[in-house]
Homo-oligomer: A and B are copies of this chain.
């Protein structure tokens, strides 16, 4: 499924007649829930703002729906809501951050800040993050790096669900890869799972009784399958881009997962979580920034002009769809699917927390 279809699908899923919430309302709602889960208010605000930013840019799968997962992680002891990230070591152009098994977003934001500062000093930098569960949406962090005028790259592993190319069993996580570059008053930011699709898409197909397009999963003996139930009968997701994407996912295990010390997804000692590496590169250490910005603008203009061909097809740069969605949702508000509002309301009810007009029973 193309990223456009994916987002169109998410947009269709929301009822046009449903109430729309402002970013501020959603951040307040999410922060209140996280605070009741045990997060200090400052942490709750940071995590809430990060989740709502995902809603705003159109990636609802990484938005406030995650409150439900996070409450389970807190209840199960995998996330300590008051855990705070710390810098364990910093040497030369690299540093290591320990997430304290708290929420991943504050750890990733700390690592991103360190990476940007260190790249300014050394030309390039890398910061690893260990001991944290869901790191959030990597696209946010590489965008922050690009907004600082640097090139950003980030990747992490996650629970095993993807088969290696030509294989059958679950070896790698959906292992996202993100990469950004600054423009003069904007940026380009790529952020994708190295699996062909997210597991959530297969779950929805099961729920809706639909078959899958070919190429998304294999069954338990490695045969291509279009039956989503096969994923839950010992099957696995496929990597994007055949052997190329599968290889990238393996390298993410060998670098982000091992350099962070979290262990690879298929290691019997893997305890879950996202072993993460965030890198920043200071373009100004290589070339004049004015020249860079000019050449970057030329690339963006020519990619659209030449790439559009004689039919003037609409060429999107990485992150452009997200930027358009951000503008639209900042202006018009965010629709939250009824089933998500219901689940968050149930969660809030546990704490006797009144969610006001967000509540849906």
Residues of A within 8 A of B (CB): 2-4, 91-94, 96, 121-126, 128, 151, 160, 163-172, 179-181, 188, 190, 192, 220-222, 240-245, 247-248, 250-251, 253-255, 257-261, 263-264, 266-269, 279, 281-283, 285-287, 291-292, 295-296, 298-299, 302-303, 305-311, 313-318
Q: Are B318 and A247 in contact (CB under 8 A)?
A: yes
Instruction: Report chain B residues within 8 Å CB of A163.
Output: 307, 309
A149 to B299, alpha carbons, bound, how many Å? 36
List 6 A-B residue pairs with CB atoms under 8 Å apart, sorted by A's residue number. Answer: A124-B279, A166-B315, A168-B310, A188-B251, A240-B245, A267-B298
**Which single residue of chain B is at the shortest CB-CB distance from A167?**
B307
A242/B285 contact (C-beta < 8 A), A171-B303, A264-B299 known:
no
A295/B264 contact (C-beta < 8 A), A121-B92, A307-B167 known:
yes
Contact of A124 among B126, B164, B166, B261 (CB under 8 A): B126
**Copies of this chain, whole number:** 2
A128 to B292, alpha carbons, bound, how many Å? 14
Chain A binding surface SS class? mixed
Contact of A221 among B260, B295, B307, B310 (CB under 8 A): B310
Known: A93-B125, A124-B279, A171-B307. 9 other contacts (CB 8 A): A93-B122, A93-B123, A124-B124, A166-B314, A168-B311, A240-B245, A260-B286, A264-B295, A264-B298
A160 to B302, alpha carbons, bound, how many Å? 12
A95 to B93, alpha carbons, bound, how many Å? 14
A121 to B296, alpha carbons, bound, how many Å? 31
A244 to B318, alpha carbons, bound, how many Å? 9
Instruction: Report chain B residues within 8 Å CB of A291.
Output: 261
Instruction: Report chain B residues within 8 Å CB of A94.
Output: 122-124, 281-282, 285-286
Q: Are B302 and A171 in contact (CB under 8 A)?
A: yes
A320 to B50, alpha carbons, bound, how many Å? 40
A266 to B308, alpha carbons, bound, how many Å? 13
Q: Are A255 and B242 in contact (CB under 8 A)?
A: no
Pick from A94, A168, A286, A316 the residue with the most CB of B within 10 Å.
A286
Q: Are B248 and A306 in contact (CB under 8 A)?
A: no
Instruction: Report chain B residues within 8 Å CB of A266.
Output: 299, 302-303, 306-307
Q: Are B168 and A313 in contact (CB under 8 A)?
A: yes
The list of the 9 closest CB pairs from A to B, nearest first, reads A168-B309, A241-B241, A94-B123, A167-B307, A92-B122, A181-B254, A169-B306, A190-B247, A247-B318
A296 to chain B, nearest CB (A): 6
A14 to chain B, nearest CB (A): 22
Instruction: Report chain B residues within 8 Å CB of A287.
Output: 258-261
Instruction: Report chain B residues within 8 Å CB of A314.
Output: 166
A126/B281 contact (C-beta < 8 A), A164-B307, A258-B292, A309-B167 known:
yes
Q: Are B299 and A255 in contact (CB under 8 A)?
A: no
Pick from A179, A254, A303 the residue with the most CB of B within 10 Å.
A254
Contact of A250 among B168, B250, B317 (CB under 8 A): B317
Instruction: Report chain B residues within 8 Å CB of A190.
Output: 244, 247-248, 250-251
Instruction: Report chain B residues within 8 Å CB of A307.
Output: 163-164, 167-169, 171, 266
Q: Are A316 and B261 in contact (CB under 8 A)?
A: no
